[in-house]
Amino acid sequence: DVKVTQSSRYLVKRTGEKVFLECVQDMDHENMFWYRQDPGLGLRLIYFSYDVKMKEKGDIPEGYSVSREKKERFSLILESASTNQTSMYLCASSSPGLAGPRVGQFFGPGTRLTVL
Amino acid sequence: KQEVTQIPAALSVPEGENLVLNCSFTDSAIYNLQWFRQDPGKGLTSLLLIQSSQREQTSGRLNASLDKSSGRSTLYIAASQPGDSATYLCAAGGSYIPTFGRGTSLIVHP
């Protein structure tokens, strides 16, 4: 059974704190993604990675950084959390060119982050 | 740039109805088209994926079709149930990054 896990379902942090969101996938996927989802704005891509130590900015990278030291793990870092980063954060993974049950994009359960 | 539109944005139907959710995309050069379900406060669950060379996929009461030439996909839900209430999103798959629609919020009332 394919799986993407995220380190926390709910997280409450204070303004200015450094925040780490962790994502792990067990499907040997090359690509990993971080999105945020806000009411009325849909899914917005923050960063993605197509290989270990490789990263590309998405549509809204400002205020975020990422780290991918191992193929299965992709971390999202908020260097100094702000209230406008309160959101649902979703991690996903995919692998291009596959057939069968591992094809397509797979999502984790999400982390609801509140910054006070 | 790929744009994906889902119509309607919201839908409320009585239990037992057959219904169709629509997804349109502007660039037909897609790798695949994927349909997801999202329950409130949860992540996205993959329902069906249609490869660009395919026309449709079926899983239980769900059937998804793809017409690349017209830039459209539909998700057909047969004999809807209250448990089908959720938001349904489609995503047009590119080389690395899929483009998502805003979703259709479905309520099936008993």
The answer to whether B97 and B1 have CB atoms below 8 angstroms apart is no
- Nearest Cα residue to B69 out of B24, B7, B3: B24
DSSP, collapsed to helix, strand or coil, labels residue B84 as helix
Chain B residues lying within 8 Å of A92, measured CB to CB: 44
Inter-chain residue contact A42 with B100, CB threshold 8 Å: yes
Measured between CB atoms, does B43 come within 8 Å of chain A? Answer: yes
What is the share, in percent, of chain A residues with pLDDT greater than 90?
Answer: 80
What are B60-108's pLDDT values in tens digits? 999 999 999 999 999 999 999 999 999 999 999 877 789 999 999 999 9
- A3: Cβ–Cβ under 8 A, 6 or more apart, which residues? A25, A26, A27, A106
What are A73-104's pLDDT values in tens digits? 999 999 999 999 999 999 999 986 665 666 78
What are the structure tokens assigned to B21, written together?
A: 């959710």
CA-CA distance, A90 to A108, in Å (whole number)?
A: 6
